[in-house]
Amino acid sequence: MPEFHAEPYLHLAGLSSTSALIAWGAFYFRVRRRGEWKLVDDADLAHVHPPRSDSIGVRSAPYGIARVTVADASGRTVSTAETSTTNWCHLTGLTPDTEYTYQVIVNGEVWADGDRYDWRAGAAQGLVRVPNRYRNTFRTHPSLDQDPSEPITFAVIGDFGIGIRKSSPTRRQAEVAGSECLFYGPVEAALPVYVAADLHADAGLLGAYWAAFGVGALVAALLTGTLGARNVRRAALLIVAGWGACLLPFAFAPVGVTLVCFTLGGLVYGPFIPITYAQFQSAATPANLPAVLAARGAIVLVATPLGTAVGGPLVGALGAAGTLVASGVLTVALAVAARLLWAGGARSPVIGGQTSGSGLPDG
């Protein structure tokens, strides 16, 4: 096999009742001396033959003169399109709720024809030839004024985020996973990678972690009202510290222990939002409460993209388990720092609108 391998692909990028958007491209792989495979970055495509600057995308350089044909069930060509400037064509004039086949020819050769290579995951990851071929079929959508002839089904496919590079499984795709975090930041970014790359488990275990968290949070939310007129500031700090502590066992504990810790994390974290809202309501007068809550919302909106930006690089640098533990350590440190700053401060609001005599009790 040559040093570089280009694996072509076809993509039905868009579909309506009377048209189809068909795209094509290729992924480039380099075969190393030990038989290992490496996905070639765009920056390294200058070394392939012929040289390129990109491989996929709506603005990618064309692979050549292309012709796309669409045929009906009888084999009759019903739509054609040609391009020499893009790697996609928009074909129109199709009949609603009708099955078609299509073919892409680039520089006189059928694109992605024959048996294709597929990616084999694991320690011996790499491309392997499999007896799979593109079917190149689609069915147009029913028209808006037409009842479908059969039930409509659809699938939503996402990237799990563990990557296919011959390197750390938490590399680029782990950073993409980190960019999807909202509030928990690094935790939401790292947990899927921890399950897939560190534990080599499937999405079922990931669901079990979040289900355990949800059960704990539900129980805690139901019990929040029993706190009564307690010190809200102290409770909030204990919640912050407790949540951080629940993440620390991910550095060494088996799955069963971390599942229990995540359940406790949900139990600890559940009252956080109602308690902090009570703190704002008690500290603010009715006149300025809307402004105070608006300021809180603005702070959250700023903090969310900051967590998003930090989560990905942390997973890439520390690994999934390391990121979970680092998040726990920093969270506990935050609670300790806040406790020191608030010690001896102003009066602390409590649930029910009453106040306690000091900011935080000693001890």
Asked if pLDDT for residue 312 goes beyond 90, the answer is: no
pLDDT band at 191 (very low <50, low <70, confident <90, very high): confident
Asked if pLDDT for residue 180 goes beyond 50, the answer is: no
pLDDT band at 341 (very low <50, low <70, confident <90, very high): low
Stronger pLDDT, 346 or 184, i.e. the higher one:
184
Stronger pLDDT, 119 or 133, i.e. the higher one:
133
Task: Please write the tens of the pLDDT for every residue from 321-332.
Answer: 888 888 888 878
pLDDT attached to residue 145: 82
Longest dimension (CA), the chain: 86
Lowest mean pLDDT among 157-161, 163-167, 190-194, 223-227: 163-167
Asked if pLDDT for residue 126 goes beyond 80, the answer is: no
- Total residues found in the chain within this entry: 363
Q: Where are the beta strands (DSSP E) in the chain?
A: 4-15, 20-31, 37-39, 66-71, 77-83, 88-91, 99-106, 109-110, 117-120, 126-129, 137-139
3-state SS, one letter per residue, for 229-269: CCEHHHHHHHHHHHHHHHHHHHHCCCHHHHHHHHHHHHHHH
Q: Tell me the pairing of strands 99-106 and 137-139.
A: antiparallel
162 in a structural domain: no
Indicate the DSSP class of residue 197: I
Q: Is residue 355 within 8 Å of 347, Cβ to Cβ?
A: yes
Kindly state whether residues 88 and 135 are assigned to the same domain.
yes
Stronger pLDDT, 101 or 299, i.e. the higher one:
101
Residue 251 corresponds to which amino acid? Answer: A
110 forms beta bridges with 105
Asked if pLDDT for residue 183 goes beyond 70, the answer is: no
In the three-class reduction of DSSP (H, G, I as helix; E, B as strand; rest coil), residue 216 is classed as helix
**CA triple 81-87-92, angle to 5 deg:** 30
Please tell me the distance from the alpha carbon of residue 104 to that of residue 136, in angstroms, as a whole number: 9
Q: How does the average pLDDT of the chain come out, rounded?
A: 75
pTM, to two decimals: 0.45
pLDDT attached to residue 62: 93
Indicate the DSSP class of residue 47: G
Please tell me the distance from the alpha carbon of residue 285 to that of residue 354, in angstroms, as a whole number: 13
pLDDT attached to residue 46: 82
Kindly state whether residues 10 and 123 are assigned to the same domain.
yes
Kindly state whether residues 125 and 18 are assigned to the same domain.
yes
Asked if pLDDT for residue 20 goes beyond 90, the answer is: yes
pLDDT attached to residue 268: 79
Measured in degrees and rounded to the nearest 5, phi and psi for residue 300 equal -65, -40
Asked if pLDDT for residue 287 goes beyond 50, the answer is: yes
pLDDT attached to residue 79: 96
Stronger pLDDT, 210 or 79, i.e. the higher one:
79
The closest alpha carbon to 230, from 317, 52, 350, belongs to: 350
Domain that holds residue 327: 172-342
CATH number, domain at 314?
A: 1.20.1250.20
Among the candidates 89, 121, 139, a domain finishes at: 139
Kindly state whether residues 89 and 179 are assigned to the same domain.
no
Kindly state whether residues 286 and 239 are assigned to the same domain.
yes
In the three-class reduction of DSSP (H, G, I as helix; E, B as strand; rest coil), residue 10 is classed as strand
CATH number, domain at 130?
A: 2.60.40.10
71 in a structural domain: yes
In the three-class reduction of DSSP (H, G, I as helix; E, B as strand; rest coil), residue 60 is classed as coil
186 in a structural domain: yes
Task: Please write the tens of the pLDDT for every residue from 21-51.
Answer: 999 999 888 876 666 677 787 778 888 888 8
Burial class (CB in 10 A: 0-12, 13-18, 19+), 355: middle
How far is residue 20 CA from its own chain's centroid?
28
Share of the chain above pLDDT 90, in %: 19
39 in a structural domain: yes
pLDDT attached to residue 22: 95
pLDDT attached to residue 114: 87
Q: Tell me the pairing of strands 109-110 and 77-83.
A: unpaired
Please tell me the distance from the alpha carbon of residue 90 to that of residue 118, in angstroms, as a whole number: 28
Question: Across residues 183-190, what is the average pLDDT?
Answer: 65
Kindly state whether residues 112 and 235 are assigned to the same domain.
no
pLDDT band at 361 (very low <50, low <70, confident <90, very high): very low
Q: Under the phi-then-psi rule, with left for phi > 0, alpha for psi from -120 to 50, and beta for the rest, what region is 227?
A: alpha
Quote the number of domains for the chain.
Answer: 2
pLDDT band at 15 (very low <50, low <70, confident <90, very high): very high
pLDDT band at 122 (very low <50, low <70, confident <90, very high): low
Please tell me the distance from the alpha carbon of residue 305 to that of residue 347, in angstroms, as a whole number: 32
Kindly state whether residues 196 and 133 are assigned to the same domain.
no
Measured in degrees and rounded to the nearest 5, phi and psi for residue 270 equal -50, -45
Q: Is residue 103 within 8 Å of 136, Cβ to Cβ?
A: yes
Burial class (CB in 10 A: 0-12, 13-18, 19+), 39: middle
Give me the half-sphere count of Cα atoms (radius 13 Å) on the Cβ side of residue 342: 20
Helix axes 289-318 and 320-342, enclosed angle (nearest 10)? 140
Kindly state whether residues 108 and 176 are assigned to the same domain.
no
Please tell me the distance from the alpha carbon of residue 31 to that of residue 35, in angstroms, as a whole number: 6
Q: Under the phi-then-psi rule, with left for phi > 0, alpha for psi from -120 to 50, and beta for the rest, what region is 281?
A: alpha
